[in-house]
Amino acid sequence: MSHENAPATKLLATACACCGRDLVDAVSVETGIGPECRKKYAIDTDVSEAARQEANALVYSVAQKGIGIRKAQAAFERLAELGFVVLAERIAKRFRATLQPKLSEAEVAQLRKEYAKLRTDFCYDNGYSAGDFDAHVRSQDPRGPLEFVKLAKEVTCMCKRCGGSGQYVRYSGSQMVSSSDCFRCGGKGHQTLDDARRNRAYDELALNRALRAG
Ligand SMILES: [Zn+2]
Ligand SMILES: [Zn+2]
């Protein structure tokens, strides 16, 4: 059976976590590392069977597509603890290289700028700080600048104006006078980037009117 149509290679790791070459034999696919790299990084020798098995499992997890940075980082640290220091360094280097292989420095700088702009726009007056924003994005384990920007566009937070109810209630004394959809969040109870941008535009318009009237 060829490498391409072996059922295992479709479901499991397909490229060596150390060098990125295609994995062709069952053991390699199972461990996420090719025979040459296994030899080179001594994963087959000089350690207890338990440590070897744990290391194999760790390498395999990192070789999977879609593993997040934090999980990968933990795997690198554990590998080093087990004594596979060189292997851990090699895989970490390869892992980082696969995160955003096609971005130039200028593109990364541009994405950082875009992220900062999105953050500024979002944290307009909803009580969300830049720190809250960063923490929220990071908690989703983005794999690089592109994902930072993508996640930044999807941040939402509870609407401070209506306390999350989506309703804006007016009182006269303790008497409720009227209730309507909260205009800061459009009645959703949470604010999105679009809400924050609309609120800023609205406030600027209202301020200009007030200035002209004054
Ligand atoms: Zn390799
Ligand atoms: Zn609201």
Query: Which ligand is located closest to the Cα atom of residue 187?
Result: 2
What value, to the nearest 5°, has the Cα angle with vertex 128 and ends 123 and 133?
Answer: 80
Amino acid identity, residue 25?
D
Convert the pLDDT of each residue in 175-204 to its tens digit: 878 889 999 999 999 999 999 999 999 999
Q: What stretch of H or E contains 53?
A: helix 49-63
Q: Name the token pair of 161.
A: 């104006």
Determine what percent of the chain is predicted with pLDDT higher than 70. Answer: 87
Distance, CA 50 to ligand 1 centroid (Å)?
A: 22
Q: Which of 9 and 193 is assigned the larger pLDDT?
A: 193
Distance, CA 48 to ligand 2 centroid (Å)?
A: 59
Among all chains, which residue has been given the structure tokens 């990084």? 41
Query: Which ligand is located closest to the Cα atom of residue 91?
Result: 1
Is the CB of residue 55 less than 8 Å from the CB of residue 48? no
- Checking if the pLDDT of 8 tops 60, the result is no
Beta bridge pairs of residue 178:
170
Q: What is the DSSP string of 87-154?
A: HHHHHHHHHHHHHSTT--HHHHHHHHHHHHHHHHHHTSSSS--HHHHHHHHHTT---SHHHHHHHHTT
Query: Which ligand is located closest to the Cα atom of residue 22?
Result: 1
Averaging pLDDT over each range in 64-78, 93-107, 144-158, which range is the top one? 144-158
Residues with CB under 5 A from ligand 2 (ion): 159, 161-162, 182, 184-185
Distance, CA 104 to ligand 1 centroid (Å)?
A: 26
Look up the pTM and report it: 0.57
Distance, CA 49 to ligand 2 centroid (Å)?
A: 58
Distance, CA 158 to ligand 2 centroid (Å)?
A: 8
Q: What pLDDT is stored for residue 156 in this prediction?
A: 96
- Checking if the pLDDT of 108 tops 70, the result is yes
Distance, CA 146 to ligand 2 centroid (Å)?
A: 30
Q: What pLDDT is stored for residue 1 in this prediction?
A: 38
Distance from C-alpha of 102 to C-alpha of 184, rounded to nearest angstrom: 39
Convert the pLDDT of each residue in 25-38 to its tens digit: 766 776 788 888 88
Distance, CA 19 to ligand 1 centroid (Å)?
A: 4
